[in-house]
């Protein structure tokens, strides 16, 4: 029985996502698709436009069989952490035997070669990376230069000839795909790997969110059932909804973790002039720090996720549990297999959640942070619910 894992955000689900699911089934011949999905906050360092439960419903109504949640600390960190957490989560289910991701280049051999370089970090890679950082390049730009140098030089472990990397390093889905392959290699996972081709020009989640927030009609890019779900959402969330909370925390905390040297003070100096997070980010942005990286730093401050937390989780193996957000009734048997085969605690109801919280340790720390993030999301997005009210939410079953 082939079960394929995909790594998603569905923020919101659009026709491009539907095409990826269709192509995934055709490529892999899988019986089931398990989606590892970000929760109420997403990898760009923003709140999801609607909560995780509504996005789970979107997924299940459009071809996904089971949705599991990528824990918050791995969602709001860089691409390497996001990939490591997502791939590790799918591997820990005990039932996912293939991984399929989208890429602009569509060439799996190129992507895997790049992933192997990132996993091995040969001397040339480290030298070019350091040189780029010393020249003032952003980490992303320096990393791209180092990877390109290794691929052009033929330093691609597991592949004999140099890899032509034109365009490989400049597209976002390619970048994540390389990190997924890196994570698979570091984990020693036996998953088979596939990629669907995403050449660009189709629906954009970013553009769709902008249109939704502007009040535009988006039926041309979203399935009707997704439009219907969004219409039941009282308020579509955006980063600026957290501006007052952020300004308070910025002033209240003496050390704003995650901003980097000098940036915390720069945020504080400009906070009085720019009251909205989006305006503040535009003023603070520097050549070295990308907008997305700064957004993640803002979210980490809002949600109290620190580098020390990540160190603890990494030292204990990364993701600490598997949380099922929902499943299709036809896939109930697969969820049963996950219960028996998973290498991490599997949460399908509140009792398991309570057991994890009462046991203490890294898993309790990770879960408590997730529940707190849910409370903060509901405050800013206007949803009701009291302290840890997410604790009482049942799975979405369709």
As given in the structure block, the two tokens for residue 370 are 């997730």
Which of 65-69, 140-144, 217-221 has the least mean pLDDT? Answer: 140-144
161 confidence band (pLDDT: 50, 70, 90):
very low
Contacts of 213 (CB under 8 A, 6+ apart): 49, 236, 238
261 confidence band (pLDDT: 50, 70, 90):
low
- Mean pLDDT across the chain: 91
Helix and strand numbers (H, E) in the chain are 18, 10
290 confidence band (pLDDT: 50, 70, 90):
confident
- Percent of the chain with pLDDT strictly greater than 90: 71
Length of the chain: 398
**Is residue 54 scored above 80 in pLDDT?**
yes
Report the candidate in 17, 93, 3 with the shortest Cα–Cα distance to residue 59. Answer: 17
Which of 111-125, 163-177, 304-318 has the least mean pLDDT? Answer: 163-177
**Is residue 56 scored above 90 in pLDDT?**
yes
pLDDT for residue 163: 46
As given in the structure block, the two tokens for residue 387 are 């302290």
The Cα–Cα gap between 10 and 18 comes to 10
36 close to 5: Cβ distance less than 8 angstroms: yes
* Domains (range + CATH), the chain: 3-104+171-232+318-397 (3.40.50.620), 121-168 (no CATH), 239-308 (no CATH)
Query: How confident is the model over 242-253, as pLDDT tens digits?
Result: 999 999 998 887
pLDDT for residue 44: 92
pLDDT for residue 264: 80
Looking at residues 126-152, what average pLDDT do you find?
89
Query: How confident is the model over 78-133, as pLDDT tens digits?
Result: 999 999 999 999 999 999 999 999 999 898 998 999 999 999 999 999 999 999 99
- Percent of the chain with pLDDT strictly greater than 70: 94
**Is residue 158 scored above 60 in pLDDT?**
no
Q: Which residue has the higher pLDDT, 256 or 115?
A: 115
Instruction: Please give the C-alpha separations between residue 227 and each of 26, 81, 112, 147, 321, in angstroms, as whole numbers.
Output: 26, 32, 37, 41, 32
**Is residue 64 scored above 50 in pLDDT?**
yes
**Is residue 157 scored above 60 in pLDDT?**
no
Looking at residues 280-292, what average pLDDT do you find?
85
Instruction: Estimate to the nearest angstrom the gap between the alpha carbon of 116 and the chain centroid.
Output: 21
Report the candidate in 280, 297, 115, 306 with the shortest Cα–Cα distance to residue 195. Answer: 115
For 136: left if phi > 0, alpha if psi spans -120 to 50, otherwise beta; the answer is left
pLDDT for residue 281: 94
Which of 149-163, 264-278, 381-395 has the least mean pLDDT? Answer: 149-163
71 close to 171: Cβ distance less than 8 angstroms: no
The Cα–Cα gap between 374 and 321 comes to 17
29 confidence band (pLDDT: 50, 70, 90):
very high
The Cα–Cα gap between 42 and 283 comes to 23
Query: How confident is the model over 187-244, as pLDDT tens digits?
Result: 999 999 999 988 766 778 899 999 999 999 999 999 999 999 999 998 999 999 999 9
**Is residue 155 scored above 70 in pLDDT?**
no
Query: How confident is the model over 348-359, as pLDDT tens digits?
Result: 988 899 999 999
Q: Provide the terminal-to-terminal Cα distance of the chain, rounded to the nearest Å.
A: 22
Which of 12-16, 23-27, 337-341, 383-387 has the least mean pLDDT? Answer: 383-387
């Amino acid at each position: 029985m082939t079960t394929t894992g995909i790594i998603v955000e569905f923020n919101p689900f659009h026709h491009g996502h539907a095409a990826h699911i269709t192509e995934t089934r055709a490529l892999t011949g899988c019986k089931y698709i398990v989606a590892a999905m970000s929760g109420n906050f997403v990898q760009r360092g923003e709140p999801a436009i609607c909560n995780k439960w509504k996005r789970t419903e979107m997924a299940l109504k459009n071809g996904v069989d089971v949705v599991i949640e990528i824990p918050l600390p791995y969602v709001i960190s860089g691409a390497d952490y996001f990939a490591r957490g997502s791939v590790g989560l799918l591997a820990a289910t005990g039932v996912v035997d293939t991984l399929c991701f989208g890429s602009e280049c569509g060439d799996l051999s190129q992507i895997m070669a790049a992933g192997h370089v990132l996993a091995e970090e040969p001397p040339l890679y480290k030298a070019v990376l350091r040189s780029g950082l010393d020249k003032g390049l952003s980490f992303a730009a320096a990393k791209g230069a180092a990877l390109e140098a290794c691929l052009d030089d033929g330093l691609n472990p597991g592949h004999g000839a140099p890899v032509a990397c034109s365009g490989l390093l400049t597209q976002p889905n390619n970048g994540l795909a390389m990190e997924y392959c890196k994570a698979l290699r570091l984990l020693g996972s036996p998953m088979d790997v596939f990629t669907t081709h995403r050449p660009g020009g189709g629906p954009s989640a970013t553009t769709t969110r902008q249109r939704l927030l502007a009040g535009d009609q988006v039926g041309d890019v979203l399935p009707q059932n997704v439009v219907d779900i969004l219409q039941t959402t009282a308020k579509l969330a955006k980063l600026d909804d957290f501006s007052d909370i952020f300004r308070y925390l910025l002033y209240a905390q003496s050390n704003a973790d995650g901003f980097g040297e000098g940036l915390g003070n720069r945020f504080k100096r400009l906070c009085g002039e720019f009251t909205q997070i989006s305006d503040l980010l535009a003023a603070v942005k520097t050549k070295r720090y990308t907008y997305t990286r700064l957004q993640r730093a803002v979210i980490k401050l809002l949600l109290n996720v620190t580098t020390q937390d990540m160190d603890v989780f990494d030292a204990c193996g990364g993701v600490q549990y598997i949380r099922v957000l929902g499943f299709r009734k036809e896939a109930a048997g697969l969820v049963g297999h996950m219960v028996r085969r998973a290498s991490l605690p599997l949460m399908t109801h509140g009792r398991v959640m309570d057991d994890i919280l009462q046991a203490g340790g890294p898993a309790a720390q990770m879960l408590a942070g997730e529940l707190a993030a849910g409370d903060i999301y509901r405050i800013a997005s206007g949803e009701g619910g009291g302290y840890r009210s997410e604790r009482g939410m049942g799975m979405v079953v369709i």
